[in-house]
Amino acid sequence: MTPQPHMVRSNLLLTLLAAAFVALSSACSRAVPRVEGALERTTPWSEELVEQVASTPVQANGRVKPLSVLAAFTLYDVHGRRDLKYSFTAADGAQQKVTLEPTEWLLDVWCYPKQASRYPLFRVENTSVMDALGFANDGQRQDFEYLSYGQVYDVVDTLQDLARKYSRIEQRDRSAVQEHLIQLWSRFLKYDRLQRQLGALHYSVPVREPEVQQAFGAEQVDLGKLVANIDAFQRLLSAQDAEMSKAPKGLLDIAEFVGKAITNDEDGVGLVAPQWLEADIADTEVLKKARDAWSETWRPLGESLEDVIMHRTPAEAGVLIGLQRAVSADNLQQKEEALLAYREATVAAASAHAQRALELGLTSEFDQDKVQLETDYYRSAWHYQSIHWFLFGFVLAAGCWLVPRSRLLWAASLGVTVLALGMLSYDVVLRCLITERPPIKNLYDTFLFIAAVGVLLAVIAELMLPRRIALAAAPFLGALLVMFARMFEVADGSDTMDPLVAVLDSNFWLATHVTTINIGYAAGLVAALLANVWILMRVLRISHPDDAPMKALIRMTYGVTCFGLTFAVVGTILGGVWANDSWGRFWGWDPKENGALMICLAQIALLHARFSGLVRDFGFVAWSAITGAVVVFSWFHVNLLGIGLHSYGFSSGLRDAVWTSYVVQAGFVAIGAADVVLRPKPARAAKAAAATAVA
Amino acid sequence: MSSASVSTPEDSARPLARVGAAVVAVLSSMKLAVVLLVLLGLLTWLGTLAQIEDGLWKAQKDYFESWFLIADLELGWWGQPLFAGDDGKGFVLRIPLPGAYPVMALLFVNLLVGGMVRLRWRARNAGVLIVHVGIALLLLAGFVKMEYSYSGGLALYESPTEGEGVSSRLYEASTFVSFHDYELALLRDDGDTVEERVVAEADLLAAADGTVTLRGDGLPFVIQVHHWMERCSPLPKGPMVRTTSPVLDDGDGGPGVFLRREKPLPERGQNTAGCYVTVLTNNQQRFDGIVYGAEMRPFEKRRVPFTFEVEGQKWGLDLRRVVYDLPFTVRLKRFVKRDHPGTLTAADYRSFVTIPEEEDREAQIYMNNPLRKDGFVVYQTSWGPQNGGRPAGGPPWYSVFEIAENPSDKWPEYACWVIAIGLVLHFVLKLSRFLNSSTRRTLSEA
């Protein structure tokens, strides 16, 4: 095969488009938002500290996870980006740009809350939102602005009123501005809640009475001093009369402060590892109940403080004192030392608790090795690295079109794609090891899994029919889906490894139904991609429909469709069998079930239409391409409908991607159809096509 | 010489045979299969979208349990209405379509005739044949479920422990109640026993616009049912309240009570039906009452029917969800719920039940692990109260089950195996043929 003018032209066109995209992206990049005034912390957190603190175990949303993961997903949710950028004027007058990783940002939120409250955090994309909140319009707004927590705090009453008012409107009837204000309120609350986790440590109570000062050894009493002198505090309290009517004001202030500190972070992040109470272990009844409804619950600061004050868990006093030091130390180095000490103490306490649980015949979900593995997983981000290699593989595949006889380029492209597939697969395996689950637990997992299966299918298709088409489709699909996964991860802002609800808590069904149906999705997408390539090649006259490459494409599309149909049908029925065991009915016309059925019906109808001669080559590929849109509908769109039992992955950010895919798909099919009508095949070619029609 | 034409039986049967053959040809045609599959896909898509406005129950009735329908498709773009009218809704396209009943029935016939009987029974078609058998079994399972299956709910409290007073709470049962359907029960109180006669909801619906008169052998009265309301609320008649419904004496000198008609909710199970009843006895006595279908049965033993006395005999009328019998008793011994730590999300909730008829055989029912017995399946669905539960010190748990009787319970699972085997066999055969084909070599070498 020699390079044809059409092919060269198409490659040039693609290159120009890519260049235009890069140029446009650069032109659209905007200046880093400024933080005005002096900052408390201008020296960066040390790399060693960030690395260590990243793997500090905390408990949130029902599982123990690295602190870095908590930081990352909270930042994604409230900020909509993977990092936070700002610039400030240094002491020497120079402008400095800062990029904070999620862990650094969270450390600032907890240890430098005043500074963090000035960071450009909440993205506002609609000027009407700014107007609604009463911000002055300087007439120079770009397509979005960042507001700091402090700025939003100043208008919090207005925001709360508007959000409450608009929440009463049905979601689908809300305007974009109303929806945006509700989301802003939700993000504000999330940040506020996070900030309050250590909020009590930033306050101290002034005491004037000598006996109180003597008891705490200070004129200002913070929680650290209180915990360190808890016996003296209780002696002072017990010396008062029952109504505390004549108690020193300082003591009353401290008591009130403690009360507020205990309730300040209710239901917050579990920062303090659980501790066994010897009395509980001795009580067989307590242990029996524990076995019934056993869970290792970590406590937020307030709950832990209450236990320490009540002398239930005196060993936790050290952890609280360490946290107090981390917050109130005068310089960065002291803060870092205190944070490292907190980490060590937490890991030791959690490990001891887990060990004891096992000795008592209970289970434990805590394993610091797994926390470290998860930290390393996110640090390595194999799936992210695979994007670069997929793109490289695609470039090499494009090179194959220009130099079709080069076996070296073909092998290099295939090798690079397989390498990227290996990275992606390793990423999926790591997720399985960390969660101790099959590959798919939620919508995010489907991206990675479908990408891996899709690439594998395309690679197999290329090996069976080496036309350099599936070779390019494989890395393209891999890069595209993994990029979508990255975008979804940030847009959704929810930890992708959080525990499952009870109905999904079945490794058997996750491994069978969920995996099977997603293999069906992957095959449907690959078939659609190959079908679109066929349309593109015909429209651009890269190849004639009767030529071998186009015939090969039809065969590949057919083969992948057959493969996908097997998995889609079996997966759909397995889903029904699962539903029969969990909800009491095989089929309930739930949107997700319907979506799966639509894929099966589309593919069965396609194959029957092909067998019966209802469709020829173009009809076959157009139908395959539309089946791809049906896959997208089933995969995502039903989750946007806001109905049904499978509503586990709602995300308004997906809507644009879904509709874009529909429009692109419809465009391809429409252009292809117009081309067939306006430029029909020659008669000779038609006969030849009939003779070689694929059965 | 005369000539006479002699017609043989074969000749007269020929046109009929031709018509029959043509019908069979159409019914078995692959093109018909394509049309039906596309129609079913279209119905599925439109039925899914209809659930946004109508809810699952109505959409299911309209699209998947009907012979014909006019589908309303609201045009939208990027989640926003297209060609919006004054009401802010997009332009509605009205599409006439056959319902899923005729489509699936024809598909079944097409599958039998074209996909099994007329299919060439060759080794190369073995996979396809097996797949078609599996799909036929699946469709059959759906039909059997639709026609012969019924389901309902049951809520049981934990059994009282020793020394604990037995209250009216229900902790064991050998009946369960329908989620959706009502029945009007006439109860005759014979002292120790209560004899029941029931009238199905379908026979009462005509009372929405008129009166349905119920008579029975040996009954000294007739019952008139009127003002049937699919969803309603009983309310006291205040001085400022206007109503077109009859206002009945509430018996304590108050302003009276009436049923207020409410707009039915999309999910049928959420509607509480009610109606007025008038009992006319043979000796010209008249009793007027309201029966209201608020359901207490799953949680408590007692019911509060409308009662009256005729010739010294006590009678009651009770509008209730249909009560089904279980051939065994389920007793909730213990309920356990475990949350994901630090959250209110349940990680696991399970019921420890016993079957008294089997010497208190114990079984655990939890998500994905139902109890199957005597053709019935008992599933764990929910629990309550949300804020309580022992041993945390709250009120006692109750556990909510769904119970279904379905003769084709396991058929889909068997169909799944059959279809999987058929598909794998077929595509492995195809693949091996392709790998050995000259076409592949030709394509590869081109």
Write out pLDDT tens, residues B43-65.
Answer: 999 999 998 888 888 899 999 99
Kindly state the helix (H) or strand (E) to which residue B155 belongs, with its residue range: strand B150-157
State whether A62 and B343 contact (CB < 8 Å): yes
**Residue among A552, A586, A587 minimizing CB distance to B443:** A552
The answer to whether A323 and A199 have CB atoms below 8 angstroms apart is no
Distance from CA of A392 to the nearest CA of B (A): 25
Q: What is the pLDDT of residues A667-691, one digit of tens each?
A: 999 999 999 998 876 444 444 444 4
pLDDT at A358: 86
Best mutation target among A175, A177, A292, A304 (most B Cβ atoms within 10 Å) is A292
Distance from CA of A393 to the nearest CA of B (A): 21
Strand partners, B173: B330
Q: Which residues have C-beta within 8 Å of that of residue A122, sequence separation ≥ 6?
A: A78, A79, A146, A147, A148, A149, A152, A184, A187, A188, A191
Question: Which chain A residues in 482-541 lie under 8 Å from chain B, judged by CB atoms?
Answer: 499, 501-503, 505-506, 509
Kindly state the helix (H) or strand (E) to which residue B167 belongs, with its residue range: none
Strand partners, B331: B172, B354
Q: Is B413 on the interface with A (CB under 8 A)?
A: yes
State whether A583 and B339 contact (CB < 8 Å): no
pLDDT at A286: 64
Beta strand spans in A14-141 (E): 57-60, 63-66, 84-89, 95-100, 122-124
pLDDT at B4: 46
Task: Supply the DSSP symbol for A272.
Answer: B
Residue A38: other Cβ atoms inside 10 A: 11
Question: Which chain B residues in 6-65 lie under 8 Å from chain A, judged by CB atoms?
Answer: 29-31, 33-34, 37-38, 40-41, 44-45, 47-49, 51-52, 56, 59-60, 63-64
Rounded distance between C-alpha atoms, residue B279 and residue B256, angstroms: 19
Rounded distance between C-alpha atoms, residue B368 and residue A585, angstroms: 12
Amino acid (one-letter) located at A331: N
pLDDT at A687: 45
Chain B residue closest to A659 (CA)? B78
Q: Is A578 on the interface with B (CB under 8 A)?
A: yes
Kindly state the helix (H) or strand (E) to which residue B33 belongs, with its residue range: helix B30-59
Contacts of A499 in chain B (CB under 8 A): 340, 345, 347
Strand partners, B279: B223, B287
Q: Which residues have C-beta within 8 Å of that of residue B25, sequence separation ≥ 6?
A: none
Task: Supply the DSSP symbol for B60.
Answer: I
- In whole angstroms, how far apart are CA A96 and each of A44, A122, B235? 12, 21, 70
- In whole angstroms, how far apart are CA A520 and each of A533, A571, A693? 20, 8, 25
Q: Is A173 on the interface with B (CB under 8 A)?
A: yes
Residue B324: other Cβ atoms inside 10 A: 17
Amino acid (one-letter) located at A151: Q
Number of separate helices (H) and strands (E) present in chain A: 31, 8
- Rounded to 10 degrees, what is the CA torsion of A552, A556, A561, A563? 140
Block residue for tokens 């429009």: A663
Contacts of B347 in chain A (CB under 8 A): 62, 295, 499, 502, 505
Strand partners, B306: B317
pLDDT at B3: 45
- In whole angstroms, how far apart are CA A302 and each of A172, A259, A297, B41, B318? 39, 9, 14, 56, 54
pLDDT at A469: 86
Residue B371: other Cβ atoms inside 10 A: 19
Rounded distance between C-alpha atoms, residue B252 and residue A669, angstroms: 74
Task: Supply the DSSP symbol for A329.
Answer: -
Contacts of B416 in chain A (CB under 8 A): 570, 573-574, 576-577
Rounded distance between C-alpha atoms, residue A429 and residue A188, angstroms: 36
Q: Which two tokens stand for residue B88?
A: 């802010």
Rounded distance between C-alpha atoms, residue B125 and residue B131, angstroms: 10
State whether B434 and A595 contact (CB < 8 Å): no
* Residues recorded for chain A: 695
Question: What phi and psi values does residue B232 have, to the nearest 5 degrees?
Answer: -155, 170
Rounded distance between C-alpha atoms, residue B228 and residue B204, angstroms: 7
Contacts of B423 in chain A (CB under 8 A): 565-566, 569-570
- Closest C-alpha to B234, from B308, B300, B289: B289
Q: Is B82 on the interface with A (CB under 8 A)?
A: no
Kindly state the helix (H) or strand (E) to which residue B386 belongs, with its residue range: none
Strand partners, B346: B339
Chain B residue closest to A642 (CA)? B52
Q: Which two tokens stand for residue B172?
A: 């064991």
Looking at beta carbons, which pairs linking A688-694 to residues 24 or more positions away fall under 8 Å?
Answer: A688/A546, A689/A545, A689/A546, A689/A616, A689/A617, A692/A546, A692/A551, A692/B439, A693/A613, A693/A616, A693/A617, A694/A551, A694/A554, A694/A555, A694/A558, A694/A610
Question: Which chain A residues in 277-336 lie under 8 Å from chain B, judged by CB atoms?
Answer: 289, 292-298
Q: What is the pLDDT of residues B416-426, one digit of tens each?
A: 899 999 999 98
Q: Is B433 on the interface with A (CB under 8 A)?
A: no
pLDDT at B359: 83
Q: Which residues of chain A have pLDDT under 50?
A: 1-7, 646-650, 682-695
Q: Which residues have C-beta within 8 Å of that of residue A34, sequence separation ≥ 6?
A: A86, A87, A88
State whether A292 and B145 contact (CB < 8 Å): no
Q: Is B393 on the interface with A (CB under 8 A)?
A: no
State whether A570 and B420 contact (CB < 8 Å): yes
State whether A62 and B446 contact (CB < 8 Å): no
Q: Which two tokens stand for residue B138?
A: 């699946």
3-class state of residue A402 by DSSP: helix
Question: Which chain A residues in 384-443 lie under 8 Å from chain B, judged by CB atoms?
Answer: none
Rounded distance between C-alpha atoms, residue B272 and residue A64, angstroms: 45
Distance from CA of B174 to the nearest CA of A (A): 18
Distance from CA of B426 to the nearest CA of A (A): 10
Block residue for tokens 């509700």: A182
**Residue among B29, B37, B413 minimizing CB distance to A604:** B37
With bands split at pLDDT 50, 70 and 90, how would you rate the model's confidence at B270? confident
Q: Which residues have C-beta within 8 Å of that of residue B341, sequence separation ≥ 6?
A: A59, A62, A63, A270, A295, A296, A297, A298
Strand partners, B384: B398
- CA count, 13 A, side-chain hemisphere, A187: 26
- In whole angstroms, how far apart are CA A342 and each of A362, B229, B279? 27, 65, 78
Residue A232: other Cβ atoms inside 10 A: 16
Rounded distance between C-alpha atoms, residue A41 and residue A44, angstroms: 7
Chain A residue closest to B338 (CA)? A293
Residue A619: other Cβ atoms inside 10 A: 16
Task: Supply the DSSP symbol for A363.
Answer: -
Kindly state the helix (H) or strand (E) to which residue B333 belongs, with its residue range: strand B313-339
The answer to whether B347 and A303 have CB atoms below 8 angstroms apart is no
Q: What is the pLDDT of residues B356-401, one digit of tens each?
A: 998 888 999 998 899 999 989 999 998 888 766 655 566 778 899 9
Rounded distance between C-alpha atoms, residue A559 and residue A574, angstroms: 23
Distance from CA of B261 to the nearest CA of A (A): 24
Q: Is B381 on the interface with A (CB under 8 A)?
A: yes
Rounded distance between C-alpha atoms, residue A365 and residue B347, angstroms: 13
Rounded distance between C-alpha atoms, residue A178 and residue A132, angstroms: 10
Q: Is A144 on the interface with B (CB under 8 A)?
A: no
Contacts of B430 in chain A (CB under 8 A): 562
**Residue among A577, A598, A641 minimizing CB distance to B413:** A577
Question: What phi and psi values does residue A18 have, to the nearest 5 degrees?
Answer: -60, -45
- In whole angstroms, how far apart are CA A223 and each of A227, A271, A305, A325, A383? 6, 16, 9, 10, 44
Q: Is A691 on the interface with B (CB under 8 A)?
A: no
Q: What is the pLDDT of residues B185-219, one digit of tens each?
A: 999 988 778 888 999 999 999 999 899 999 988 89
